[in-house]
Amino acid sequence: MSIVVTGATGQLGRLVVDELLTRVPAASVAAVVRDKAKAADLAERGVELRIADYGKPETLAGAFEAGDRVLLISGSEVGQRVAQHAAVIDAAKAAGVAQLAYTGVLGGPEADFDLAAEHTETERRILDSGLPYTFLRNGWYTENYTANLAPVLAHGAVVANAGEGRVASATRADYAAAAAAVLTGPAETHLNTAYELSGDIAWSLAEYAAEVARQTGREIAYSNVPAEAHEEILTGAGVPPFFAAILVDVDKAIERGALAGRTGDLSRLIGRPTTPLAETIAEALTQRS
């Protein structure tokens, strides 16, 4: 039996593997990756590599073994993810895995924004498969904002159409720690359970802008614009139209409060408070300097 992380060379996947290696021997961890070369460092640390591609179902036949505890990290190709996830689910069922954990979205089937639809369908397919499951319904990543500091600093503004909505975000490392806890903890505690994962504090984009201003000493304003104007700004900056529409729709969801929920599940799973917004901003600014 292994603990298997799919998408293990991605931004979240690597953090999950790192966290697992603080908890269990490397020999018990397997990484499912598309590119063996990109995972060379994981192999050097003693992690087993299993080469497979979500988009090529035939490659998934040997990705899992009976009794494995598997983390399916949602794919990054919006619009193609249901078919890709279904291929993983089918392979996991054929292998007889003991647990299939899935990184979905906060709110699960109640999430009413476009980006959530593929997650909802994936959860349905996992339930229909009959596999023992754990749903890790991740809220927004703080890095979704701090990775975009360059234009904020260049223009002195955080531009969105989220109104006064609040975001209970946490860092990728926080969510990775939760996944590792679920994959290494007593199976009976986490099987057939859904966790609503979010940060301890919900903040507004006005507060985010104010914190960036405080740490940089610059004037940074929150510019709340109409959805149509925001979509034009995004496409003008080179964001593909389909994805610009998704981002605008997410901001509408934030305004409705869809990403502000706080259950405490995340901090309970990781055994500590979630990472504060100010700390993540500080780290991002340090990396820029």
**Contact yes or no for 41/35 (Cβ under 8 A):** no
Residues 176 and 249 in one domain: no
| Helix (H) or strand (E) segment spanning residue 116 | none
Residues 207 and 192 in one domain: no
137 forms bridges with which residues in the sheet? Answer: 104, 196
d(CA 180, CA 178): 5
Residues 231 and 127 in one domain: no
**Contact yes or no for 27/1 (Cβ under 8 A):** no
Domain presence at residue 265 = no
What value does the CA radius of gyration of the chain take, rounded to a whole number of Å? 19
Nearest to 74 by CA among 129, 24, 16, 160: 16
Residues 215 and 246 in one domain: yes
d(CA 210, CA 283): 16
Nearest to 106 by CA among 277, 255, 261, 246: 261
Residues 123 and 14 in one domain: yes
Residues 178 and 212 in one domain: no
User: How open is the CA angle 87-28-31, to the nearest 5 degrees?
Assistant: 40
Residues 190 and 226 in one domain: no
Helices of type H across the chain: 11-20, 40-44, 81-95, 117-129, 143-146, 149-155, 172-184, 187-190, 205-216, 227-236, 241-256, 265-270, 277-288
Residues 162 and 59 in one domain: no
CATH number of the domain where residue 37 is located: 3.40.50.720
Residue 203, token pair as written in the block = 């903040």
Q: Is the dihedral angle over the CA atoms 67, 137, 47, 85 positive or is it negative?
A: positive
- Category of 65 on φ-ψ map: left (φ > 0), alpha (ψ -120 to 50) or beta: beta
CATH number of the domain where residue 240 is located: 3.90.25.10
d(CA 246, CA 286): 30
According to the model, what pLDDT value does residue 268 have? Answer: 98
Domain presence at residue 11 = yes
Residues 75 and 162 in one domain: no
Query: How far is residue 16 CA from its own chain's centroid?
Result: 11
Residues 38 and 83 in one domain: yes
| Helix (H) or strand (E) segment spanning residue 6 | strand 3-6
SS3 138: strand
| Count: domains in the chain | 2
According to the model, what pLDDT value does residue 40 have? Answer: 96
Residues 213 and 228 in one domain: yes
According to the model, what pLDDT value does residue 80 have? Answer: 82
According to the model, what pLDDT value does residue 258 have? Answer: 96
Domain presence at residue 76 = yes
Residues 253 and 181 in one domain: no
Which mean pLDDT values do the consecutive 10-residue runs of the chain (289 residues) have?
94 97 97 94 96 92 95 87 95 97 96 94 98 98 95 96 98 98 93 98 98 97 97 94 95 97 97 98 91
According to the model, what pLDDT value does residue 187 have? Answer: 83
According to the model, what pLDDT value does residue 166 have? Answer: 98
**Single-letter residue type at 159:** V
d(CA 129, CA 146): 38
Residue numbers of the domain that contains 249:
146-151+156-166+200-260+271-284
Query: How far is residue 53 CA from its own chain's centroid?
Result: 19
Domain presence at residue 266 = no
